[in-house]
Structure 1
């Protein structure tokens, strides 16, 4: 092995020196052997110590191990030395903000390592200042509801001019509703970098900063979108060291990104608008664009001709798909489409793509036209229409491209149609796995990849996540688990009370209502997690009738509920939060904000969605057991995440009450219990 592919003594010393400086800057710091292990293993993987080319690691780091600082220490010096970009991808906005506002600035200030960093966000998170100006110059373009927001737009323009607003959605100086934001946000049609008027727009200024930064923070969706687009924003994977934090979210995020949907009903409505647009543009664009405008109209007619038979077929199929008026979804078993759809899929996808290509040329031509203020008014309307129609075309291309892919046995897509309240039908497609896509676009190409999370293993094994991410064939793959340094035995207890009913029983909700008051301690911060929104509401209504004061998810914003909870706890008042699955992850309630965690039942997902049903079908067709292979691993991971809410700092204390006896009565129960942190256990019999 070449020494160039290993961690040099110079780099080792730089990492040690930086760590020593960070220790000195951290208040109440004490040595963490787990963090040292993380740093050493990550650095060795990235440096090529284990394999010259296949530098990849799956790292599970428990709460309190100092994971963020560990991966910065392990990767920043190597990225700088080898002139690679460090791309940190997270799943949640909360972790992005923590990295950009706290962890990275602290690291840069105290490590003695000089580098630039940047938060990279999607285009729609930025305003287009030209769009904003057009609405202010031409107030007659605004609808009556938007006129009410005229002062908001003026405030935004002033804030941008004074640079007190960065021009993005996350630093807005005042509340802006969804419709108004959409009317000023950047998109490729309104905010083209080829148009000089837009070169100083927030989006293009932000993108220019990407080239100057050595560390880039993105979310999983933007990373996937950029890889699929051929690295439009980030450097090619071979020039990047990736740290993918919260990596257990990556498979689901990938499925969401590579999924597609498109409306099937009434295609003539929006395609007629496309024809009208082409006619209007003849008046605006130079003669050199006439050929493209004629092509646009030809392709529009061709696409309408391809979609019309699909629309007519809906009449025949709809009564079979939706025999009950309450039914809103129909899944194609084994992804088998009607024969006509299979025949039309490839031509529709191809025609939609050709039409998009011409629209892109026309959009560029519009940006080059010098306009008088009078014509700017008309162009703004045309661009708005162009953007909406391009979105429709992208949806049609995405859907029929997936539908054109032949499905072997078992199928690797979920395909279904959904009906809205107006009877309009939308078709959907979603891959069951993104392992092959991730392997092809990312893992086989990257200079190095570190995937980390507090919950990567399932039932104490990395096999499930390896399968989901497509990492079984990587000769250099390294895995590491570092347990939390918290004193779980001393600081916490898991209590399984004696109960009469399993959660599957009809009487379980009534038993919950009867037993819960015994575990809602006074003057404590309590979080009660439910697997069902309906059940949470039933229990909340009954307990309020008994005199309990509750903070219930959905009755106010998450931020408002948590703010009230903090106020109660800080004044030593009883505070009881009720929440569902979204409260079991990413919720940080340290100290006395949470000392009493109640999990009403194991968070098994009901496989009612078309995607979950298709995944179960595929496992069954391969001779597997969907409950064992899908439901149990997913539930075990969610349970670990839920229990991770209790101890957030080393000095925290409390108890977890689990009101689900299946942990002791079912064969899978012991394995699930053994995946939880090593709290003391009290099981009542």
Structure 2
């Protein structure tokens, strides 16, 4: 009872005191009380918090109180490093003014600048261009004033340079390193150990679990924010993602055939043996190219691998032989500075060799394998069909876990997400958004368009409808697509001139978003990442257009594999997987429009399946109650005239 009263007091008295414009939200307080009860009673919880509830403080304050009472560290995990940073810079400082506590934000070790690696890369001539040496010096100076976290560096760092200056766990000397006392990573780890609240991301969480729970300090209580992306993070972590360029970069650390630089020049080899190695690496690079060409057959942009590959290329055998030879040289080395660099390369090549063998042999029956092409890059990929088994094992290691997001349910039902994550026993609750959608918004469904399966006509009519809505809204429009192909086709057909048109892919996403926010008459055509995680409050986003219901592309390899698997189990994939997945993504897209109580706007849906098909009601039932809906363009005109 005392804890409950203390928590209520924080929201009703203390928050208004430090935040003059704070408005108490009943849903926020009720959510905080529920979380406090679940933490005290060690009950797992799924809690959906609608936009505007104040979700972060609703879980953060009871979590801090619980950690203090139990004298244990508590952890918050969110989907991306960007969201991690938002939490640290926006919400945690507010919480600290109410309850002083120590916190730290943890990132994977590869995100930290390593002075020793940077020095070794310079010493052994690994920097290939003058600009790399210049940027290295700039990073050195910058890191001394900061915490060495490379994602905070104000300029873009190319993968080729990053691979020569970041921490590599395989070549780290730890306490034996002359830079140990000033090491940014180990300084950060010390802060992690001292923290009462540790903020991580989902990918790092899975890395921690994969290292037998030794990567991070001990904890048994965790809140997963943006929990609807937890499966995606697990799939990405436990899958394969190899590329021809990545393999070339690794081999170029040993010796770059163009620049004539690399570790090979510093190995204890005679001139004749060095020449032998150079010829060997030249042959290996040719084999690498042949290997990827043979797999991809020089056709299509993506292809699923259904049976083990019988390849003429000997690249994997040659890579294995080269690595064994390198290991023998390493065992004879005496240079204590060079040895860690060579050992790190050996470990990296060994891991790539292992993944190549798994890919070629389809080593995991529970995964799907495919390749895809992006320009000159060819990627070999795999993904587990399900993470249910591993999630059950992982979550059993924690006393209590809480999953929260604005979108966890399909028409008010948590079972789809819970089943995908292997959750069986849990409390559940929904706290709807406090926004007045009846006054703030309007849903317009344009049933004048043909069904999306009439592709050519649908694309043409989409462009016309978008032109009409942009004109009515006077720009200020975000248009969401389900594929880059459709986005490009529609963009080409739309009338340009009166308003600035921005398109995903023309420049980095954060720059596009900044321009869209600053130019309140601009229109942004986007797909993929723009369906979720972006926040554009105010006039800049007054009209949101969803061009198609966001069903996954059926021939996307993992989706195809999941569908086959469900059919083998006697389940109907559309109703049990594809539809609920699309509904959650649709809700995420819809949520981009109304971000605060002052926002007003129209959501235009150009896919009439939402009202013409028997499954459309699930999309509509998953939207806020009292949301006005029309299929007539005139109320849209009237809505914007009233603004």
Query: In which range does the TM-score fall when normalised by the shorter chain?
Result: 0.7 to 0.9
SS at structure 2 position matched to 1:645:
coil
The aligned counterpart of 1:555 is: 506
Aligned to 1:251: 231
Name the structure 2 match of 1:486: 435
**TM-score between the two structures when normalised by the length of structure 2:** 0.83
* 1:593 partner SS: coil
Structure 1 partner of 2:348:
391
User: Residue 517 in 1 paired to residue 470 in 2?
Assistant: no
Aligned residue number for residue 24 of structure 2: 31
CA contact (8 A) 2:309 2:360 kept: no
Deviations 1:510-545 (A, max 9, x none): 112222222113545211112221222222222245
Structure 1 position 70, deviation (Å): 0.6
From the superposition, tell whether residues 56 and 403 of structure 1 become closer, same or farther in structure 2 (CA, over 3 Å).
farther
Measured after TM superposition, the shift of residue 437 of structure 1 is 0.6
493-502 vs 513-522, greater mean Cα deviation: 513-522
1:41-100 deviation per Cα after TM superposition (whole angstroms, max 9, x unaligned) = 11111111xxx6xx2111100000011001011111111111221110000233211111
User: Using the alignment, how far apart are the partners of 2:575 and 2:107 within structure 1?
Assistant: 38
1:501 aligns with 2:450: yes
SS of the residue 1:194 aligns to: helix
* Counterpart for residue 202 of structure 2: 220
Q: Structure 1 135/24 Cα, relative in aligned 2: closer, same or farther at 3 Å?
A: same
User: How has the CA–CA distance of structure 1 residues 682 and 174 changed in structure 2, closer, same or farther, with 3 Å as cutoff?
Assistant: closer
Residue 670 of structure 1, CA deviation:
1.5
Q: Could you say which residue in structure 2 is the equivalent of 1:117?
A: 103
Give the counterpart of 1:168 among 123, 145, 149: 149
Is 2:613 aligned against 1:627?
no
Decide which of 453, 458, 462 is 2:410's aligned counterpart. Answer: 458
- Alpha-carbon distance, 1:260 to partner: 2.5
- Per-residue deviation at 1:600? 1.3
1:636, distance to aligned residue in structure 2 (A): 0.6
What is residue 230 of structure 1 aligned with on the other side?
212
* Matching residue of 1:609: 556
Equivalents in 2 of 1:466, 1:31: separation in Å? 31
Q: In the aligned structure 1, how far is the partner of 2:421 from the partner of 2:595?
A: 29
Does 2:632 match 1:681? no
TM-score, normalization by structure 1: 0.78
CA distance in 2, matches of 1:359, 1:114: 52
- CA distance in 1 between counterparts of 2:373 and 2:465 reads 41
Cα distance in 2 for residues equivalent to 1:405 and 1:142: 35
User: 1: CA distance between counterparts of 2:166 and 2:450?
Assistant: 53
Query: Which one of the candidate residues 375, 383, 389 is aligned to 1:436?
Result: 389
**Alpha-carbon shift at residue 117 of structure 1 (Å):** 0.3
Matches within 5 A, 1:102-501: 102-109=90-97, 111=98, 113-135=99-121, 138=123, 141-145=125-129, 147-160=130-143, 163-172=144-153, 174-199=155-180, 200-236=182-218, 239-260=219-240, 325-327=298-300, 329-333=302-306, 337=308, 376=337, 379=338, 383-398=340-355, 412-416=366-370, 428-441=381-394, 443-472=395-424, 474=425, 477-501=426-450
1:74 equivalent in structure 2: 62
Which residue in the other structure is 1:643 paired with?
A: 590
Q: Partner residue of 2:637? A: none
Structure 1 unaligned regions, length at least 5: 1-8, 284-307, 341-347
User: How far apart, CA to CA, are the structure 1 residues paired with 2:227 and 2:19?
Assistant: 27
> CA shift at 1:391, angstroms?
1.7
CA 143–233 in structure 1, closer or farther in 2 if over 3 Å, else same: closer
What is the distance in 1 between the residues matched to 2:540 and 2:355?
A: 46
- Do residues 662 (structure 1) and 609 (structure 2) align? yes
Shift in Å, 1:329: 4.7
Cα deviation for residue 210 of structure 1 reads: 0.9
Contact 1:330 1:416 in 2 (8 A): yes
The SS at the match of 1:591 is: coil
Give 1:270 shift: 6.9
Q: 1:332 to 1:555 in 2, by over 3 A?
A: closer
Residue 76 of structure 2 is aligned with which of 67, 88, 93?
Answer: 88
Specify whether residues 392 and 611 from structure 1 end up closer, same or farther in structure 2 by C-alpha distance, changes over 3 A only.
farther
Q: Does the 8 A contact of 1:64 with 1:486 survive in 2?
A: yes
2:134 and 2:308 map into 1 onto residues whose CA distance is: 51
The SS at the match of 2:75 is: strand
Verify the 8 A CA contact 1:46 1:448 in the aligned structure 2.
yes
- 1:3 aligns with none
Which residue of structure 2 lines up, in the alignment, with residue 302 of structure 1? none
Structure 2 stretches lacking a partner, 5+ long: 256-261, 270-283, 312-316, 634-643
Deviations 1:10-33 (A, max 9, x none): 433442343331232222223211
Q: Distance in 2 between matches of 1:486 and 1:419?
A: 44
CA gap 1:120/1:144 in 2 versus in 1, 3 angstroms: closer
Mapped partners of 1:425, 1:524: distance in 2: 38
Shift of 1:156: 2.7
With over 3 angstroms needed to count, the CA separation of the structure-2 counterparts of 1:510 and 1:546, relative to structure 1, is: farther
Look up the SS of the partner of 2:386 in the other structure: coil
Residue 557 of structure 1: how far off its partner (Å): 2.1
Distance change >3 Å, CA 27–CA 400, structure 1 → 2:
farther
Offset at residue 135 of structure 1 (A):
4.7
Say if 1:489 and 1:173 are closer, same or farther in 2 by CA, change over 3 A: closer
Superposition RMSD on alpha carbons, in Å? 3.8
